[in-house]
A and B are shown apart, each in its own frame.
Chain A
């Protein structure tokens, strides 16, 4: 399809991926119609601070917005909020929205995101049981996070641990229940997980590891979480942090290829060349992950998808893919991650965990594939550059703290 045939772009999903796509299309000189459809009442906003500064009350909604709501009209982007797209008619290239209106498109971008998994337990609908994904979720939780309240977090992933950290800083009593035997089991090594376990324990968080929640107790409001071994953990608030499920309903209905997310090629094109999919809902071959198809849940992935789609639709310079990157803020710890650690066979530590500033580098054979850097930004950025450029350094170089990361990276080949 030549680019001059694309006059109407519809983006379904007004999260970070969708919002960035609209903005980057305009920046790339696209002058056709752009319609951005979102289910939430807000203009596109950043989700990461929801479990950090926003939950703590340090950020308000205006600060979360990617751009002020007025900018969309200024740039002739039709932003339709609190509206659900209900059907995609691929044959006639139309999107039907709630209420029956049909909107025609030349190119369609699915940026539908993901939904937080609900606890599969009796009592999961009780008042006081919270999911955590949207600003509305954070708004509902925030007033309950008062000193002395009892919070149970189910799931020790990044969202759960970030919420636990904020809660402790607000004086909330926190217990984290995790079915695996260690926190962060899906996302980092036992070494780094152990560090975060110690840190949270020191901050007063109690952990139930290898615990199986069996029942949420309470009449109208939650009073506790019962485990399968009969132990009951009292709770005024329960936060489920057990992961997200990609929102693929529309894509499924219209017959696009799905496999743990909407499958796309490197240009973010789905099995229908007029339809793109980006962000949390989509899986594409990741260059810096041996071209394996992966569905990444991150800001980096959302923004990169937007850049790729904008370049593809406008026929602009292809975007040079970055090594995947992530971050997490817990207490005064900034964890910065580059690369994907899955499949590593060796972990190399630079610095000492007890100093609360160290980096864990992951190798697969001789190749550096990822880093977890805690309060060590140079190690994070240095490793990110190495991974992006396909270079490696010897583990012994990284262990040598007499050389700076900059020197080590400069000498890498």
Chain B
């Protein structure tokens, strides 16, 4: 199972075994990683699962869709490597992925 590392704004790391087909958001929520709210459960309706993808991984996670980018435009502290984690699907190609969490989702 691919491993995903989530780093909270405080620096605390969570390494999660995440099944293929789930999203980076779902794996975090199911393991109670603090810092990803994901109130809508992954329907791309709330923009509370914002993460920063480690720059080394940007090639593999791809670019946000138009809808996702529009949502990100209104998130706090958005950077070039910002993504909504509900829109990143886990696969073997993402084994070892590192994402950082913003200070707040609201």
Q: Which residues of B contact A327 (CB under 8 A)?
A: 40, 43, 45
Query: Would B106 and A378 count as touching, CB distance under 8 A?
Result: no
Q: Which residues of A contact B46 (CB under 8 A)?
A: 325
Query: Would B41 and A46 count as touching, CB distance under 8 A?
Result: yes
Whether A68 contacts B30 in the complex (CB less than 8 A), given A300-B39, A303-B39, A378-B70, comes out as yes
Query: Would A325 and B45 count as touching, CB distance under 8 A?
Result: yes
Q: Which residues of A contact B71 (CB under 8 A)?
A: 377-378, 381
Query: Would B106 and A67 count as touching, CB distance under 8 A?
Result: no
Of residues 13 through 51 on chain A, the ones whose CB sits less than 8 Å from some CB of chain B are 23, 27, 46, 48-49
Q: How far is the CA of A303 from the CA of B73 in the complex (A)?
A: 24
Which of B45, B46, B70, B106 has most A Cβ within 10 Å? B45
* B94 at the A interface (CB under 8 A): no
Query: Would A329 and B43 count as touching, CB distance under 8 A?
Result: yes
Query: Would A336 and B45 count as touching, CB distance under 8 A?
Result: yes
Query: Would A48 and B43 count as touching, CB distance under 8 A?
Result: yes
* B47 at the A interface (CB under 8 A): yes
Query: Would A378 and B73 count as touching, CB distance under 8 A?
Result: yes
B41 closest partner in A (C-beta)? A46
Query: Would B43 and A66 count as touching, CB distance under 8 A?
Result: no
Of residues 177 through 214 on chain A, the ones whose CB sits less than 8 Å from some CB of chain B are none
B47 closest partner in A (C-beta)? A381
Q: Which residues of A contact B43 (CB under 8 A)?
A: 48, 327, 329, 334
Of residues 10 through 47 on chain B, the ones whose CB sits less than 8 Å from some CB of chain A are 22, 26, 29-32, 34, 39-41, 43-47
Whether A375 contacts B67 in the complex (CB less than 8 A), given A27-B34, A66-B29, A71-B32, comes out as yes
> Least Cβ distance of A215 to chain B in Å?
37
Q: Which residues of A contact B22 (CB under 8 A)?
A: 63
* A154 at the B interface (CB under 8 A): no
Chain B's interface: helix, strand, loop or mixed, by majority?
A: loop
Of residues 123 through 143 on chain A, the ones whose CB sits less than 8 Å from some CB of chain B are none
Q: Which residues of A contact B67 (CB under 8 A)?
A: 334, 375, 377
> Least Cβ distance of B46 to chain A in Å?
7
Query: Would A406 and B73 count as touching, CB distance under 8 A?
Result: yes
Q: How far is the CA of A48 from the CA of B41 in the complex (A)?
A: 9
- The count of chain A contact residues (Cβ–Cβ below 8 Å) is 32
> Least Cβ distance of A316 to chain B in Å?
14
Q: Which residues of B contact A46 (CB under 8 A)?
A: 41
Q: Which residues of B contact A329 (CB under 8 A)?
A: 43
Query: Would B39 and A299 count as touching, CB distance under 8 A?
Result: yes
Q: Which residues of A contact B29 (CB under 8 A)?
A: 66-67
Which of B44, B46, B71 has most A Cβ within 10 Å? B46
Query: Would B74 and A334 count as touching, CB distance under 8 A?
Result: no
Q: How far is the CA of A284 from the CA of B54 in the complex (A)?
A: 42
* A104 at the B interface (CB under 8 A): no
Q: Which residues of A contact B40 (CB under 8 A)?
A: 48, 299, 327
Query: Would A406 and B74 count as touching, CB distance under 8 A?
Result: yes
Q: List 9 A-B contacts (CB under 8 A).
A: A23-B32, A27-B32, A48-B40, A48-B41, A68-B30, A325-B46, A334-B44, A378-B74, A381-B74
Query: Would A320 and B106 count as touching, CB distance under 8 A?
Result: yes
Per-residue interface assignment for chain A, residues 374 to 388, with 1 indicating a CB less than 8 Å from any chain B CB and 0 otherwise: 011110011001000
> Least Cβ distance of B40 to chain A in Å?
6
Query: Would B32 and A67 count as touching, CB distance under 8 A?
Result: yes
Q: How far is the CA of A75 from the CA of B45 in the complex (A)?
A: 29
Q: How far is the CA of A192 from the CA of B42 in the complex (A)?
A: 25
Whether A385 contacts B34 in the complex (CB less than 8 A), given A325-B45, A329-B43, A375-B67, comes out as no
Q: Which residues of A contact B30 (CB under 8 A)?
A: 65, 67-68, 71
> Least Cβ distance of B99 to chain A in Å?
19
Q: Which residues of B contact A334 (CB under 8 A)?
A: 43-45, 67
